[in-house]
Amino acid sequence: RTDWHPVRIRFRLPPHVPAHAVLCAPTLRVREERLLLDVPYALAVPKPERAGHRIAVAFDWGLNTLLTGGTLHLTDETQPRVLTDAHPLSFRAAGVLAKADRLRIHDERITARIDQLRTLITSRQERGVRPDPLLVAKLAVLQTERERVAKRRTRLNAALAKAAARFMTDHARAAGASVIYLEDLRDMEARGKGRTLNTRLSQTVRGAIVTHVRHTAAAHGIAVVIVPPRGTSKYCPRCLNKFRHHKAPDDRAAGWAWATCPNEACGYSTGRDNAAWQRIGARGLTHQHTTRLDRTAGTFVIRAVVEALDRASQVQHQTRDRTKSRPTTRRPAPGKRRRVPAPPGRA
């Protein structure tokens, strides 16, 4: 300590640090002959609550659309009702998912090639022959390529998780919601949704999305609650009759994507995912007092569905439902546009 002496460092706080932030002890780093100062700061935020929510946003995991969701309200009556405008919000990541898929296929090909080369090299070594230097060089190139692809996939997944979390938190803030309800990922295998979903997006990535949304939401005092998904897309959110699933609004053949309520008094017809988030949200809002904190995962969960509560959680639509009811009319195909400038005098 005799060698210690105090140093005063003046620094300016960047504008994104709020004035009421509490600064913590800084860390000094030297990088490329420059002194860097890491200053962590703490912000007081409201604690996410387990129950007592009146406005919620709920999201359902989908196949083509990664997340479909919307806002729901709980009324103040003695028998609270769940209301929604049924306006769906969707997070599409088709481009990112396609890129992830291409990288996965590329990775599989490289791995197969590496295995082949290894077999060739070791079989020569076993016979006491020196392996072909060309093969050894090829193997080295492929191994660096595999590492590069693995890094690229990790970065892409992290970016996707952050974007999805941001999307959910921003919508919750815009709607003034204090809670985000999400489906339980573990039960999806049981629902037959698992395998198809997993080829598109691994369980790990979906887990990362949940972790990210918990953190981004916590910064605004918004709770994230995991809801059991049992039967969420099976029943009509308005009258709780069993849905009939078919291919499209105009195709009555049994299928996956579309759901129509057979109850004539109701007749609700909507996309499968759009029906599911309404059920998830209603289930979450009516099961608030059964919400528990899972200590190992650190998340709020609703473990079991109470039949009596679930039966009562009909969703009432406040305004005219503007969900899609027929297929999109054909638009002119891209690529038929003129590729060369119009001839002079005709432009």
The residues of the shown chain that bind Zn ion, judged by CB under 5 A, are 236, 238-239, 241, 261, 263, 266, 268
Rounded to a whole number of angstroms, the CA Rg of the chain reads 27
Smallest separation, CB 237 to Zn ion (Å): 8
Which residue, 198 or 241, has its beta carbon nearer to Zn ion? Answer: 241
Smallest separation, CB 70 to Zn ion (Å): 17
Q: Are 210 and 224 in contact (CB under 8 A)?
A: yes
Smallest separation, CB 310 to Zn ion (Å): 15
Q: Are 132 and 119 in contact (CB under 8 A)?
A: no
Smallest separation, CB 108 to Zn ion (Å): 44
In 3D space, the residue among 33, 157, 167 whose CA is nearest the CA of residue 101 turns out to be: 157
Which residue, 3 or 264, has its beta carbon nearer to Zn ion? Answer: 264
SS3 109: helix
**Phi and psi of 57, rounded to 5°?**
-115, 145
Structure tokens at 159: 């970016």
Helix (H) or strand (E) run with residue 311 in it: helix 307-312
Smallest separation, CB 239 to Zn ion (Å): 3
CA torsion through residues 123, 127, 130, 132, sign: negative
Which residue, 238 or 246, has its beta carbon nearer to Zn ion? Answer: 238
Smallest separation, CB 84 to Zn ion (Å): 14
Which residue, 270 or 291, has its beta carbon nearer to Zn ion? Answer: 270
Which residue, 96 or 239, has its beta carbon nearer to Zn ion? Answer: 239
DSSP-derived secondary structure for 51-81 = S--SEEEEEEE-SSSSEEEEEEEE--SSS--
DSSP-derived secondary structure for 184-243 = -SGGGTTTT-HHHHHHHS-HHHHHHHHHHHHHHHHTTT-EEEEE--TTTTTB-TTT-PBP
Smallest separation, CB 86 to Zn ion (Å): 13
DSSP label of 120: H
Smallest separation, CB 159 to Zn ion (Å): 39
Which residue, 169 or 278, has its beta carbon nearer to Zn ion? Answer: 278
Which residue, 179 or 282, has its beta carbon nearer to Zn ion? Answer: 282
Helix (H) or strand (E) run with residue 144 in it: helix 133-175
Which residue, 203 or 241, has its beta carbon nearer to Zn ion? Answer: 241
